[in-house]
């Protein structure tokens, strides 16, 4: 979830209600109907791709795929805590090279929507705030607070000035057409009362004062001051949003969620292509939508410790481009076809008048007509269960349940949101390298620190983030005490603000407990056995990302209260160790691994570092580590962290929230790659495998009722192009179709997930399809009786379904 506010501030208001931005290159402005670029009204499709969540080598192909998918704009956040890790020390290198990312978007001819924030939420650690901001005297985040405003303005100016120096704003001839300040601030504005309102006002004024000469937006901010544009984030903006807060502002959807965020313990959230297409189209035709951004278009990976509390490492893998940048079909292709269909309607949509004609109880025609007679119609069936036949202008149309048909000439249907004709592709992971020999692994166990070995002391329990300063997920809380309990097994009770606790008595594990994404607090309770005399209690408190949201500077993590039976150790003498020994010695790097003595792997142990080396697999398929046999920890490849993992925390379905972890090829060298894991539980490294990730199965499905399709391979045939429905199949670049698993022309039942032949079935269907497809990377089969040498059942509506293997 991305809570943020988007504003689009406009620069100059001209007569007739048009707000204009001063320009040198493209002139970006808006009015109540739409964004206006160089005098032309426009409808823009945008997709979020975050530079820091992929590797630099992926950027060109991600941008190219976005363009092929019919996007006009790439939207990204700016990650303050990556760029200014210490006050005044900036980092714009490698994955942080936002300038290069924006220039590459420009080179490929797309626009940029820049969400500066600088608070961004984004399921990113601390919502993008650098941790040092927490220690600025008197700071209160995101309200009318001078220290905060000073640093917020400083960073905003830094970014805007960098963009200006590189001429990246549209008014300078660059690609940036929109900028955002703050992020979903409305969610917390009320908590700050009048200060909240004043902060919004200050924020808008500060942003507009940056003189970018183009609109600013605030998302989820219904009171965004003029000329900043308020925008919608959500799943169904046409239903849930009140719209622009002024008749002079257009409707922008800054976050159309293609799926949803996922935390450890959550199952994978799904959003179907049909649902996404339905609500996007409805936003455009019903709300005067002029900008729709898919959040995310490519989610990518939360490398290192960059994810927010409990958020998994793979980010929005269900987006149209998956974590690895592979097309997720049919979502990608279905949206692409929708974009092409809607772009055929631009004239009437943007310059015409709307008339809504009722076609039935839950059916309406949205008809846009220009004075010169151009016409586009959208036939809506808002009934979620029943498909219907409707009559529109003397023609019968079939409308599936909850769908919209797009008729760019008010006659021919070129797209229906519920009829997916794009192939369904199935991603598979194939183990390519096992690490199953104990000879391959070496181990180094963390030392459980005892009170006597700690140097940081306090008469009480310290807040975790303020103690670690986010240099580590780990903080040891230790104390020692005389065993004077009458019970043989006294009860140890720990109340924690989160996120995970591992309790040790005299160096032995006595139990673990953890919170969840929604409720980070938890209570640990277990009976323990003490030795006679002095005992050492060591409590490891582990965070899985910093919090996001409101009042972050005063949020607490770590231990809150510790009791043994009725004795209260909360205000006792505690000793602390920040981080792990292995972290301090950098044992996950090539050089640092020599700082400790590793031993041959023998058996699974808790709090243990494991290391091995491997050669890079040949080819260029994406790679992922299958960590299904592990518990919880972090993984490094050649010293770079690919993120936290947590497979022992099962989702309601019983599966881990994430089992496979992305290994970018750019992190690898040809031979001797160092793989290091830190495992907190007793995971079993011998079952880890390195897998290739690729599409190995493709399936297509069309019916007589399908509208003709937009050419799937890039060229949008101008209307009125109307081919026969076809099944188009295509394998990834390095694969060909080696087997037809299923082919039926007739009335097969089911869909690409599950199917069987029906009563009506062309006997030679499989043969015909094999002839057309085997040995090829791409093939298409027309859904006509001629293709199959005759009609197997005249009068019955027919379907063609083909499922094929790519190898």
Ligand X SMILES: *[C@@H]1O[C@H](CO)[C@@H](O)[C@H](O)[C@H]1NC(C)=O
How many C-beta neighbours within 10 Å does residue 149 have? 17
Token pair listed for 639 = 């010293």
Backbone angles phi, psi at 460, to 5 degrees: 150, 180
Q: Is 120 in the site for ligand X (CB under 6 A)?
A: no
The one catalytic residue among 121, 182, 255, 337: 255
**How far is the C-alpha of 744 from the C-alpha of 271, rounded, in Å?**
28
Question: Shortest Cβ distance from residue 561 to ligand X (Å)?
Answer: 6
Residues 380-399 that bind ligand X (CB under 6 A): 382
Looking at the Cβ atoms of 303 and 324, the one nearer to ligand X is 324
User: Radius of gyration of the chain from Cα atoms?
Assistant: 29
Q: Is 277 in the site for ligand X (CB under 6 A)?
A: yes
Q: What's the distance, CA 146 to chain centroid? A: 33
Q: Is 19 in the site for ligand X (CB under 6 A)?
A: no
Q: Is 290 in the site for ligand X (CB under 6 A)?
A: no
Candidate segments 24-32, 434-442, 721-729, 753-761, binder of ligand X by CB under 6 A: 24-32
**How far is the C-alpha of 372 from the C-alpha of 715, rounded, in Å?**
28
Residue 280 near residue 327, CB atoms below 8 Å: no
Q: Cis omega (within 30 of 0) on the bond before 330?
A: yes
* Interface residue with ligand X, options 734, 749, 751, 756 (CB under 6 A): 734
Q: Is 283 in the site for ligand X (CB under 6 A)?
A: yes
Question: Shortest Cβ distance from residue 536 to ligand X (Å)?
Answer: 4
Query: Residues in contact with ligand X, total (CB under 6 A)?
Result: 70
- Packing angle between helix 146-165 and helix 98-107, nearest 10 degrees? 40
Residues 58-97 that bind ligand X (CB under 6 A): 61, 88
Looking at the Cβ atoms of 79 and 264, the one nearer to ligand X is 79
Q: Is 278 in the site for ligand X (CB under 6 A)?
A: yes
Question: Shortest Cβ distance from residue 506 to ligand X (Å)?
Answer: 4
Q: Is 167 in the site for ligand X (CB under 6 A)?
A: no
DSSP characters over 188-204 = HHGGGHHHHHHHHHHHH
Q: Is 212 in the site for ligand X (CB under 6 A)?
A: no
Looking at the Cβ atoms of 404 and 800, the one nearer to ligand X is 404
184 is catalytic: yes
Candidate segments 64-72, 561-569, 642-650, 681-689, binder of ligand X by CB under 6 A: 561-569
Binding pattern for the stretch 505-544 against ligand X, x by CB under 6 A and - elsewhere = -x------------------------x--xxx--------
Binding pattern for the stretch 301-340 against ligand X, x by CB under 6 A and - elsewhere = ----------------------------------x-----
Residue 771 near residue 666, CB atoms below 8 Å: no
Exposed, middle or buried by CB within 10 Å (0-12, 13-18, 19+), for 480?
middle
Nearest to 536 by CA among 419, 453, 626, 428: 453
Q: Cis omega (within 30 of 0) on the bond before 737?
A: no
**How far is the C-alpha of 73 from the C-alpha of 96, rounded, in Å?**
20
Q: Is 276 in the site for ligand X (CB under 6 A)?
A: yes
Question: Shortest Cβ distance from residue 129 to ligand X (Å)?
Answer: 15
Looking at the Cβ atoms of 185 and 283, the one nearer to ligand X is 283
**How far is the C-alpha of 558 from the C-alpha of 462, rounded, in Å?**
8
**How far is the C-alpha of 497 from the C-alpha of 499, rounded, in Å?**
7
Task: For residue 128, give every residue at least 6 positions away whose Cβ sits within 8 Å of its Cβ, in sequence order, or none.
Answer: 77, 78, 79, 80, 81, 117, 118, 119, 120, 121, 122
- DSSP state at residue 733: T
Tokens 């309790």, located at residue: 503
Residue 731 near residue 705, CB atoms below 8 Å: no
Looking at the Cβ atoms of 348 and 685, the one nearer to ligand X is 348
Token pair listed for 629 = 């046999």
* Interface residue with ligand X, options 162, 412, 481, 805 (CB under 6 A): 481
Distances (CA, A) of 279 to 69, 142, 289, 392, 649: 18, 32, 11, 22, 34
Residue 778 near residue 730, CB atoms below 8 Å: yes
Residues 590-649 that bind ligand X (CB under 6 A): 591-592, 594-595, 620
Binding pattern for the stretch 125-164 against ligand X, x by CB under 6 A and - elsewhere = -----------------------------x--xx------
Looking at the Cβ atoms of 101 and 294, the one nearer to ligand X is 294
Residue 580 near residue 678, CB atoms below 8 Å: yes
Looking at the Cβ atoms of 200 and 801, the one nearer to ligand X is 200
* Interface residue with ligand X, options 112, 292, 539, 627 (CB under 6 A): 292
* Interface residue with ligand X, options 89, 428, 482, 599 (CB under 6 A): 482
Helix, strand, coil fractions of the chain, as percent rounded to 5 = 20, 35, 45
Q: Is 29 in the site for ligand X (CB under 6 A)?
A: yes
The one catalytic residue among 184, 189, 323, 337: 184
Which residues belong to the active site?
A: 184, 255
Binding site residues, ligand X, CB under 6 A: 14, 18, 20, 23, 27, 29, 32-33, 36, 39, 61, 88, 154, 157-158, 197-198, 201, 205, 237-239, 243, 253, 256, 258, 276-283, 286-289, 292, 294, 335, 382, 450, 452, 463, 466, 480-482, 484, 506, 531, 534-536, 561, 563, 567-568, 570-571, 585-586, 591-592, 594-595, 620, 733-734
């Amino acid at each position: 979830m991305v809570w943020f506010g988007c504003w689009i501030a406009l620069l100059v208001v001209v007569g007739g209600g048009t707000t204009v931005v001063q320009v040198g290159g493209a002139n970006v402005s808006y009015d109540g109907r739409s964004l206006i670029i160089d005098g032309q009204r426009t409808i823009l499709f945008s997709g979020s791709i975050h530079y820091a969540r992929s590797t630099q080598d992926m950027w060109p192909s991600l941008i190219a795929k976005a363009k092929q998918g019919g996007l006009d704009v790439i939207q990204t956040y700016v990650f303050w805590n990556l760029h200014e890790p210490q006050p005044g020390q900036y980092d714009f290198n490698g994955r942080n090279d936002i300038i290069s990312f924006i220039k590459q978007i420009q080179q490929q001819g797309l626009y940029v929507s820049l969400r500066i924030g600088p608070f961004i939420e984004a399921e990113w650690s601390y919502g993008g705030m650098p941790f040092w901001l927490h220690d600025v005297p008197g700071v209160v985040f995101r309200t009318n607070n001078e220290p905060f405003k000073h640093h917020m303005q400083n960073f905003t100016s830094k970014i805007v000035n960098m963009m200006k120096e590189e001429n990246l704003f549209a008014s300078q001839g660059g690609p940036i057409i929109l900028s955002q300040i703050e992020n979903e601030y409305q969610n917390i504005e009320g908590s700050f009362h009048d200060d909240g309102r004043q902060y919004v006002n200050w924020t808008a004024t500060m942003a507009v004062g940056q003189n970018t000469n183009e609109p600013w937006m605030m998302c989820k901010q219904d009171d965004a001051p003029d000329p900043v544009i308020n925008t919608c984030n959500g799943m169904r903006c046409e239903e849930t949003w009140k719209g622009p807060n002024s008749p002079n502002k257009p409707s922008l959807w800054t976050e159309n969620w293609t799926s949803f965020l996922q935390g450890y313990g959550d199952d994978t959230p799904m959003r179907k292509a049909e649902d996404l297409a339905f609500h996007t189209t409805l936003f455009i035709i019903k709300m005067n939508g002029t900008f729709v951004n898919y959040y995310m278009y490519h989610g990518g990976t939360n490398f290192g410790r960059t994810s927010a509390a409990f958020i998994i490492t793979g980010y929005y893998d269900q987006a149209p481009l998956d974590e690895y940048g592979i097309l997720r079909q049919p979502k990608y292709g279905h949206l692409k076809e929708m974009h092409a269909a809607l772009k055929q309607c631009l004239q009437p949509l943007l310059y015409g008048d709307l008339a809504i004609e009722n076609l039935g109880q839950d059916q309406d025609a949205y008809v846009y007509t220009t004075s010169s007679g151009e016409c586009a119609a959208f036939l809506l069936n808002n009934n979620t269960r029943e498909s219907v036949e409707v009559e529109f202008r003397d023609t019968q149309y079939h409308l599936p349940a909850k769908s919209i048909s797009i008729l760019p000439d008010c006659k021919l249907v070129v797209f229906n949101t519920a009829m997916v004709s794009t192939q369904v592709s199935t991603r598979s992971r194939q183990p390519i390298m096992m690490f199953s020999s104990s000879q391959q692994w070496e181990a180094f166990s963390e030392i459980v620190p005892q009170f006597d070995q700690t140097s940081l002391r306090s008469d009480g329990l310290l807040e975790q983030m303020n103690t670690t300063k986010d240099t580590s997920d780990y903080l040891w809380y230790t104390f020692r005490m005389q065993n004077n309990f009458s019970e043989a097994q006294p009860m140890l009770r720990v109340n924690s603000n989160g996120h995970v606790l591992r309790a040790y008595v005299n160096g032995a594990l006595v139990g673990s407990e953890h919170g969840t994404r929604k409720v980070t607090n938890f209570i640990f309770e277990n009976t323990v056995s003490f030795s006679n005399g002095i005992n050492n209690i060591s409590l490891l408190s582990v965070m899985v990302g910093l919090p996001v949201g409101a009042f972050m500077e005063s949020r607490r993590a770590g231990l809150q209260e510790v009791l043994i039976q009725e004795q209260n150790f909360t205000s006792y003498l505690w000793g602390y160790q920040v981080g792990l020994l292995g972290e301090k010695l950098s044992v996950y790097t090539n050089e640092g691994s020599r700082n400790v003595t590793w031993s041959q792997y023998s058996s699974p142990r808790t709090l243990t570092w494991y290391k091995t080396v491997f050669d890079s697999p040949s080819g260029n398929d994406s790679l992922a580590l299958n960590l299904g046999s592990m518990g919880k920890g972090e993984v490094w490849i050649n010293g770079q962290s690919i993120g936290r993992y947590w497979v022992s925390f099962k989702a309601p379905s019983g599966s881990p929230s994430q089992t496979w972890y992305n290994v970018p090829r750019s992190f690898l060298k040809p031979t001797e790659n160092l793989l290091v894991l830190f495992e907190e539980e007793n995971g079993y490294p011998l079952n880890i495998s390195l897998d290739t990730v690729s599409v190995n199965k493709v399936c297509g499905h069309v019916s007589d009722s399908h509208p003709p399709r937009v050419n799937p391979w890039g060229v949008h045939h101008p209307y009125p192009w109307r081919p026969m429905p076809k099944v188009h199949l295509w394998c990834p670049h390095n694969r060909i179709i080696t087997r037809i698993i299923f082919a039926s022309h007739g009335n097969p039942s089911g869909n690409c997930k599950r199917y069987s032949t029906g009563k009506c079935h062309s006997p030679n269907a499989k043969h015909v399809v094999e002839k057309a497809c085997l040995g090829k990377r791409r093939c298409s089969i027309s859904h006509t009786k001629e293709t199959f040498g005759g009609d197997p059942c005249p009068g019955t509506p027919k379907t063609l379904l083909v499922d094929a293997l790519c190898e």
